[in-house]
Amino acid sequence: MGLGTVAVTGAAGNIGSVVREALRAETSRLVLLDRVPLSPRAANETVHTVDLRDAQAVESALAGVDAVLHLGGVPDEAPLADLLEANVLGTHHVLEAARRCGIGRVVLAGSNRVAGFYPAGHRTSPLEPVRPDGLYGVSKAAVEALGQLYADKFGLSVICLRIGSFEETPAEPRHLATWLSPRDTVGFVRAALTAPPSAGFTAVYAVSANTRRFWELPAPTELAYEPVDNAEEYAAGIAGAELPIDPSAPQAGPYALPEVTLKHLRP
C-alpha cells in the first residue's frame, strides 16, 4: 500500500534518518523538514530547512502532504523554556498546519518518559494518568494533550507513539525492558501512517517485544503492528542483566533522579 505524500519533521535525527531510508520507496513524495540543512537523495524527496518555532514556515512546508510524522524537538532533559519552545510550541505549529492544510493523519513522537515514575513492577497502559520523570516528560505530556485537543476540537486523526529506548541494540539493563529496535520503529511508524482514517486521538507505546518490558503493547484495534525484536536476545552481553530489577523503582531508572533535572533549574 503506497503512503502517498508523507512529511517527516526532525528528519536529520536518529529516528528520522532510519525512517527516511525505510519509507522512501513507499511514498510518492517524501517531504523532509529539519533545522539542519539536508540534501535530497532521490527524485521523490523534497527538503526544507525549517525551525518549527516558525509557524508560517511549517505551514508552507507541509502544504499538500497526506500525512505528517512529527519527530522534531529537543530529545532529552533541558531547561523548561527550551522544551516549551521546541517541543510544545513546535508541535502546536505542526498540528495547526495540519488543520489549516487538511492533512489526513498526524503521527506524534511521544515518549515513555511521560510516565517514568510508575514502578518497574507495574505494566503501564497509556490510558493511565501521566507521571513524568522530568521536564522533558512534562513537555511530551503537553504534546499528547495538544494531539488530544486537535482531535477533539478540530477532528484531526492523531496517533501518538510513546517511543521506548531507540538503539541499534540494547546496551544497558534498563534497555532489556525499554528497547525499541530500528526495525520495530519503522513497523510502528508505518502502521501509524496507514491506520484506517478516523477522527480521534490514540496514544500507544512503541516498544519492542521485550520479555521484561514495562508497558502494554497496543491492541490490534488500536494499531495493527506486532513488534518482532526482543532485547532478551542480547542479555548475555549486557553487564548487570542477571540482577533483578527492584519492582518499586521508577521505570525511568536514572532519568528519575533529582540531579537529572536540578542541573536545568535556576541555581
Q: Which residue has the cell 484495534?
A: 221
Distance CA 77, CA 83 (A): 8
pLDDT classification of 176: cutoffs 50, 70, 90: very high
pLDDT classification of 2: cutoffs 50, 70, 90: confident
CATH 3.60.10.10 corresponds to the domain 5-262: no
Q: What does the pLDDT look like over 180-221, one tens digit per residue?
A: 999 999 999 999 999 998 889 999 999 999 999 999 999 999
pLDDT classification of 68: cutoffs 50, 70, 90: very high
**83: helix, coil or strand?**
helix
User: What confidence score (pLDDT) does residue 67 get?
Assistant: 98
Domain extents in the chain: 5-262
User: What confidence score (pLDDT) does residue 8 get?
Assistant: 98
Q: Does pLDDT of 151 surpass 60?
A: yes
Q: What does the pLDDT look like over 15-58, one tens digit per residue?
A: 999 999 999 999 999 999 999 999 999 999 999 999 999 999 99
Catalytic residues: 136
Using an 8 Å Cβ cutoff, are 95 and 147 in contact?
A: yes
Query: Whole-angstrom distance between the N-terminal and C-terminal Cα of the chain?
Result: 54
The CA-CA-CA angle for residues 2, 149, 144, to 5°, reads 70
**Phi/psi class of residue 109: alpha, beta or left (left: φ > 0; alpha: ψ in -120 to 50)?**
beta
